[in-house]
Amino acid sequence: MTLLVKDPRQQALFPDSATKLPPLPTLDVQTDIKYYGTRARTILNRPEVTGMDFWSINPYIGCALGCTYCYARFAHGYAFDRAANANPDHREVAADVASLPPWLAFERRILVKENAQTVLQKTLRTGSDRHLALLAGESITIGTATDPYQPAERRFRITRQLLEVIAEHPGLNCRIITKSPLVTRDIDVLKRINRHSNIEIHVSLICPDRELARRIEPRAPTPDARLRAVKRLRDAGIDVGVNVMPILPGITDGPAMLDELVRKITETGATHIAACALRLRNAARKRYLPWIDEEFPHLSARYASTYANSIHAGDTYREGLTQVMTRLCRRYRIRFGHMDDDDPESEVADVASDQIAMFG
C-alpha cells in the first residue's frame, strides 16, 4: 500500500499504533464496515508532534460517517502500512485496506484503540510531564481526526472510557468535537468532569437541510438530531458551541440557509458559533472534487480554479463569509467564536449578502 502523505508531522496524528489480528466484529447495522483492534503505545499526542496548539486524542483511526470534505483521510493508510511493516502477520489486513480506494477505506476499515483507557491512565499519572503540562493550562481535544462518537462508539465505548479517566484528574481543560448526539449518552461523566475541570463540546453542523446534509455527510446524524443534542447538553449545564465547519462554497453558503442555521442554533441555547470556509487538502481533494463533479457539476470548474493553488478559498470570499457570520450572530445574540475569543460585538462592517456568493 502506498503511503498517502510524506509529511511526518501529519503522519504523527496517529503515532505508535500497531494493528493486531483477528479483527473485531463488524457492527450488525453496517456490515460493509470492518473494525480492527489496535494496541496503541501512546494516546495523548503532543502539540509539537501534531503541529496543533493543543494536546489531542483520537480513540479511532478512520471514520464511518463518510463526510465528503474530511481532511483526515491522509493518515489512515499510513496506520495500516505501519502495522504491516511491523508485523508480517498483519499484511493480510493491509491488503484488505489496499483493495479499496483510499477515501473509501477511511470510511469502511476502522481501527479501534482497545487499550486507550489503560494508556491514558498511565500517561496522566500524577507527576508525569504530560500531566503537569495539562495542569499548567494546556488543553486536550478529543476528536481531531476522527469522530469520537461515530457508530463504533456504541459498541466499543472507547471515548467513554477515556472520559472516565479524565474525570479522575481535576484542573484539566478539555474539548470534544463531534457530529453525533451519542455524546449525550455520556452526560453523567461530562457533568463529573465539569465539576472540577473545564469541558467544552463542539457539535459540528454545516447546514439545516436534512436531504442536503445526507448528500454531504452520508452517515452522519441528521441536523435536527444534532440540534436536540446541543439542547440536552446545555440543559445539563455543559458548555456547548456549534462548529459551522466547513462552509462549502456554492452549496451551504447561501444567506438564507446560514440565517436559518444560526437561528436554529441559537434556539438550542448554544454558547457560541465558530465558522470557516472549506479547506481542501490533498487527500480530501481526491474524494471531494469527484463528488462535486457528480453531485454539483455546475460548480466543478469554479472549484478547480479556486483551489488550484491553495487549500483555501480566496481571501475576499473568506473575509466576506466572516463578516456575514458575525452579522448573523449579532442579530441572534450569540457569540461568534470560542468563549475566550475577543468580544464579537466589536465593530465589523456589514457586507452585502451576495458578497460571499463566490460561485454565482
137-155 residue pLDDT tens: 789 999 998 999 999 999 9
**Total tally of structural domains belonging to the chain:** 1
Q: How far apart are CA 270 and CA 36, in angstroms?
A: 36
> Using an 8 Å Cβ cutoff, are 241 and 271 in contact?
yes
Is the model's pLDDT at 277 over the cut of 90? yes
| Domain assignment of residue 118, yes or no | no
Q: What is the pTM of this model?
A: 0.85
Q: How many CB atoms are located within 10 Å of the residue 335 CB? A: 18
Q: Which residue has the higher pLDDT, 49 or 328?
A: 328
Average pLDDT over residues 109-118: 92
7: in domain: no
Domain membership of residue 96 (yes or no) is no
* Residue 138 confidence (pLDDT): 84
Contact between 236 and 191 under an 8 Å Cβ cutoff? The reply is yes
Q: Quick one: which of 111, 75, 73, 115 has its CA closest to 93?
A: 111
Q: Is residue 223 part of a domain?
A: yes
Alpha carbons 357 and 339: distance in angstroms, whole number = 29
Check whether 52 has a pLDDT greater than 90.
no
Mean pLDDT for 212-227 is: 97
Residue 95 scores a pLDDT above 50: yes
Is residue 198 one of the residues assigned to a domain? no
Contact at 8 Å (CB) between 93 and 43? no
Task: Please tell me which residue, 12 or 107, carries the higher pLDDT value.
Answer: 107
Domain that holds residue 223: 205-360
Contacts for 32 with CB less than 8 Å, ≥ 6 apart: 108
The whole-chain average pLDDT of the chain stands at 83
88 vs 3, more confident: 88
User: Which parts of the chain fold into alpha helices (H)?
Assistant: 8-11, 47-50, 74-86, 91-98, 102-108, 116-123, 129-135, 152-156, 158-166, 187-196, 210-216, 223-235, 255-267, 282-295, 300-306, 315-331
Torsion, Cα 159 149 53 163, to 10 degrees, reads -30
pLDDT at position 19: 43
* Residue 186 in domain: no
Residue 183 domain-assigned (yes or no): no
Dihedral sign for Cα 22, 23, 26, 31, please.
negative
Cβ–Cβ under 8 Å, residues 79 and 14: yes
Give percent of the chain with pLDDT exceeding 90. 60
Q: What is the pLDDT of residue 274?
A: 97
Residue 266 placed within a domain: yes
pLDDT of the residue at 353:
38
